[in-house]
Structure formats: C-alpha cells, structure tokens
C-alpha cells in the first residue's frame, strides 16, 4: 500500500474514516457525495487549471501514476511541470506546480487551493502547511532539489475588471518556514498513519468524531458508531463548540438526546431543545410572537434569492466567491386571510445578471410594506453587493434592506421550539414540522443543488430540452421557498 496525501489528510481528521476509505470503500462511498461536495471538487479543479496561467508553457503529467515521466522531466530540469507524481516505499502524492529556479538549481513547489485568503485563515493555514509538509517529506526522500514551498490561493480583496488579472486574483504565499516548523512532527505522523492504515483488521471501537458536533462528523460516522441514534446529543445546538460538555456526555455513555439528565449543565437554548424532545411538547411564547408579528406591515412581500458562489469571478465588479444572484421568488399578501399572489424572475444567460435582477425586483416589489425573508444577512448581503457594483440603484436597494424582516428570528430566539426542529432553525426543518408542506417531492430540494443546476444551465451542461426542464425545476423550488415563509407566517398568526 502507498499512503496518498489525500488519505493522510483524511487520517489527520479521523483515522478510522481513512482506514475505511482504503479498506472498505463500499462503506466510505455508501453515502454519495452531495452536490455541494461535488461543486467543491469541480471548483478546485477549475482554480488549479487557472493557476497554471501564472507559470505558462508547462508540461502536464497526464497519468496520475506516472512517476517515470515525472523523474525524466525533473532530470531534464524542465522549467515548469504540472501535476508531477512522486512515490516512496510508503507514500505517494501529486504536486500541483513545479517551477525550476535556476538561481539556486532547485524547484519551487506551488500548492493551489480554491479558497480565499480571508475566511478561517488560521485553521486553513494549518491544514495547508501539513499538506505541503507531506509533499516535502516525499520529495526529500526522492532527492528532489527543493527551494521554496508556496501556497497559491484566491485574493479575497480582488475585484475583477473587464478581464481577469491572474497576478492580482491569485496570491503566492511563502509557506517554507511554516513547513520547516512542523516537518519533524509531520514526518513522524506520516509513519504512524502508514502503520495504522496498513493494518488488515479494522480499528476497534468508535471514531474520533464521537466527541464532535453533528456537522463535523466524518463520512463513515454511522458505521463506526452504530449505537448513536439519529437524534443524538451530537444534535444539541452548538454542542460542538462546547467540547467538554459533549465529551462528558459521551464518557457517561449518554448518546440519545432523550437520556440527557435534567440537571446537566446546558445553555438555555440547549435546555429548551432537550426539554421539548424529552417531554414531547412545544414551547411557544405567544406574547412575544405577537409582538414580532406586529412589526410586519402590509403589504407583506415574502422574498427569496438563489445565487451561485463563483470562485473565479465571472463578471466585472465581482470578487472570488461573490454570490451571483440569478433568481428570486416573491409572494405578496395584502391582508390576513387572502392567499398571496406570486411572481418570479430567473436569469439563464451567460452574461452578467445584475441589472436584470435589480430591475425585476423594482418592477415586482411593492414600494411599501415589509419584506419577509429567512436569514436576512443573506439577502441583505446580496443587496449590499449589488449596490457596490451598481451605485445608480443605491436608493432602491437601501430602501429594500430597510424594510427587511427576518422570519427565522422567531425560531432563532426560541419563541417557538418544537422537537421536530431538532435544534435547527432552517426552513427545511421548520416547514414540514409546522405545515403539510415539504421539499421531498421536488427535483431540486436544497440551495446547493439549485446553485449547481443554474451553473450547468449557463455553462452548457444540459441540452436545450434538459435546460428548459431544469429552469422549471428551479422556479418550482424557489417558489416553494417563499410560499413556505407565507405558510409558516400564517401558522404563527393563527396561534391561539
């Protein structure tokens, strides 16, 4: 067995998960990749290919197992090599870009990442340093002359003009010192990982994700921890940020949320969630809900946006991962017991959608009344970015933001707590709990699929008939988002 860099990084996160990926791939792959995960992979590939433009005219090692071609290119001091392949007795890896530095007679290594230079930088830097350290260990064992180790990633401050400026879009950060500081630790850890992952017998017991919140669980968590129920202590709100609380529960072999002791130390939000699950009842603060509803002014517009987070800016005025707004749905009600009217907009061309999107909003939104959304920071953030790119619409967009009311606040503030929410405030949990509606019958059931579908529409991922079918699927999905808000609002005003 050769331990790949990818599997080593998985091992660092959860060793048993890495073992199962190698030895029981049918378990590891039993849950197919989500649309979001596939989009991340595609984005990584796109940024990797784009970064080659920083060092043009390189030679690509096309066969991901071809160490012989790589060695020949290295021996010939090929100026630029893309995707060179290296292996030792234990390890195997592929680098992104090698660039010959004639001044020192050695190669500079460039690792490309499809992330920006701002979000979670400290955490990501640690992961990236380990990535480069793995490469360095393998390269030194192969006697490859190495000068510097660089990380290439997207510049969070870059704003595209008419054309993309690669040298401004992508940053090149020297990670050599970071790698040197951890190289001994990583080298030892690589040997340990190889030893564990070479074993024929499956590692005994639970995986390390047992003391992490649900959102941080590995791919094979259910296989490794069969005693954990579907609704467990891992689902308690923000329990992953309360590591000691979760560890104490697990050490006491308390897995079900129904078994959490009454006197266990939890925050008020966590206690309420546990209480409604254990007592099978709802917590409803009718007075505060009525106070909230009193702030909502007719005509009420229920509004939802769909967007695509393009890592590589497609249009002028956009930066890395800026959301491209391509669709909205709108339900409007003028009085309490009147079914809402519906209108919608979708942009399915390859060009910049900003002006069409804004002008459709102007045409369809009432000039007065509340605009009800779910998670206002999202829609308001889109409006703010639209204003920055299109200042001529500033008055309209700022007025729109001033009228926004966030329906999710009712559930975030726990004015309404139900066991069916499972500690979440997502509309995907609230809607089927409070109404007969759900997303299960739709072809598109979440925002990640909607985003990916639109991207395929505008990048010729479908034939014409398929494109039209997918546009209709997008319209139905977004329409339910806004009707869902109306239905939840109606449920709230009808509370006795």
pLDDT at position 242: 83
- Say whether both 172 and 273 belong to one domain: no
For the chain, give the percent of residues with pLDDT over 90: 93
pLDDT tens digits, 428-448: 999 999 999 999 999 999 999
Helix (H, G, I), strand (E, B) or coil at 267: coil
Q: Residue 109 maps to which CATH number?
A: 3.90.320
Pair of tokens at residue 173: 């950060």
Displacement of CA 415 from its chain's centroid (Å): 28
pLDDT tens digits, 149-200: 999 999 999 999 999 999 999 999 999 999 999 999 999 999 999 999 999 9
- Say whether both 169 and 268 belong to one domain: no
pLDDT at position 284: 97
Tally of domains within the chain:
3
In the predicted model, is pLDDT for residue 289 greater than 70?
yes
Query: Is residue 143 one of the residues assigned to a domain?
Result: yes
122, 115 Cβ separation under 8 angstroms: no
pLDDT at position 39: 87
Q: With bands split at pLDDT 50, 70 and 90, how would you rate the model's confidence at 32?
A: confident
Query: What does the DSSP assignment read for 363-411?
Result: HHS-SSS-EEESSHHHHHHHHHHHHHH-GGGHHHHHHHHHTEEETTHHH
pLDDT at position 109: 98
- Say whether both 295 and 273 belong to one domain: no
Helix (H, G, I), strand (E, B) or coil at 74: helix
Across the beta sheet with 85-87, what order do the strands follow? 3-4, 91-94, 85-87
**How many Cβ atoms from other residues are within 10 Å of residue 391's Cβ?**
10
Q: Which DSSP state fits 148?
A: E
Helix (H, G, I), strand (E, B) or coil at 157: coil
Query: Is residue 234 one of the residues assigned to a domain?
Result: yes
Enclosing domain of residue 243: 227-278
Q: Residue 449 maps to which CATH number?
A: 3.30.420.10
In the predicted model, is pLDDT for residue 67 greater than 90?
yes
Pair of tokens at residue 79: 């100026």
109, 149 Cβ separation under 8 angstroms: yes
Please name the residue that has the structure tokens 């500690």.
Answer: 423
Query: Is residue 219 one of the residues assigned to a domain?
Result: no
Q: Which of 420, 11, 27 is nearest to 220 (CA)?
A: 27
**Mean confidence (pLDDT) of the chain:** 96
Helix (H, G, I), strand (E, B) or coil at 170: strand
């Amino acid at each position: 067995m050769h331990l790949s860099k990818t599997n080593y990084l998985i091992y660092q996160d959860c060793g048993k998960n890495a073992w199962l990926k190698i030895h029981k791939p049918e378990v590891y792959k039993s849950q197919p990749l989500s649309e979001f995960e596939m989009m991340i992979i595609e984005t990584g590939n796109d940024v990797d290919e784009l970064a080659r433009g920083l060092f043009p005219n390189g030679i690509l090692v096309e066969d991901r197992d071809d160490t012989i071609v790589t060695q020949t290119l290295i021996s010939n001091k090929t100026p630029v090599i893309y995707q060179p392949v290296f292996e030792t007795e234990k390890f195997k890896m592929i680098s992104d870009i090698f660039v010959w530095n004639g001044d020192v007679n050695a190669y500079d290594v460039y690792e490309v990442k499809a992330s920006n230079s701002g979000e979670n930088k400290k955490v990501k830097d640690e992961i990236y340093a380990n990535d480069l350290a793995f490469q360095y260990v393998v390269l030194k064992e192969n006697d490859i002359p190495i000068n510097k180790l660089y990380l290439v990633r997207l510049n969070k401050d870059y704003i595209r003009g008419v054309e993309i400026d690669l040298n401004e879009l992508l940053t090149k950060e020297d990670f050599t010192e970071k790698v040197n500081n951890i190289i001994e630790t990583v080298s030892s850890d690589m040997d340990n990982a190889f030893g564990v992952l070479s074993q024929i017998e499956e590692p005994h017991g639970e995986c390390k994700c047992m003391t992490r919140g649900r959102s941080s669980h590995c791919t094979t968590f259910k296989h490794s921890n069969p005693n954990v129920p579907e609704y467990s202590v891992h689902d308690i709100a923000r329990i992953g940020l309360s590591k000691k609380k979760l560890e104490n529960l697990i050490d006491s072999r308390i897995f079900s949320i129904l078994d959490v002791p009454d006197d266990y130390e939890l925050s008020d939000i966590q206690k309420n969630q546990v209480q409604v699950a254990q007592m099978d009842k709802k917590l409803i603060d009718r007075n505060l809900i009525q106070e909230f509803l009193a702030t909502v002014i007719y005509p009420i517009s229920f509004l939802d946006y769909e967007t695509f987070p393009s890592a590589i800016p497609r249009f002028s005025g956009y930066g890395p991962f800026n959301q491209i707004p391509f669709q909205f749905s709108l339900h409007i009600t003028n009085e309490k017991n009147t079914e809402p009217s519906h209108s919608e907009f979708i942009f399915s061309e390859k060009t910049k959608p900003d002006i069409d999107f804004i002008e459709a909003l102007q045409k369809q939104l009432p000039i007065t009344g509340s605009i009800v959304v779910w998670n206002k920071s999202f829609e308001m953030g889109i409006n703010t970015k639209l204003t920055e790119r299109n200042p001529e619409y500033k008055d309209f967009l700022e007025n729109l933001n001033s009228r926004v009311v966030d329906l999710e606040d009712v559930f975030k503030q726990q004015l309404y707590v139900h066991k069916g929410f499972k500690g979440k405030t997502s509309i995907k949990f609230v809607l089927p709990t409070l109404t007969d509606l759900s997303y299960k019958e739709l072809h598109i059931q979440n925002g990640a699929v909607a985003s990916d579908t639109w991207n395929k529409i505008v990048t010729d991922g479908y034939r014409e008939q398929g494109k039209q079918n997918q546009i209709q699927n997008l319209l139905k999905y977004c329409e339910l988002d806004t009707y869902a808000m109306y239905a939840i609002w109606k449920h709230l005003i009808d509370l006795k």
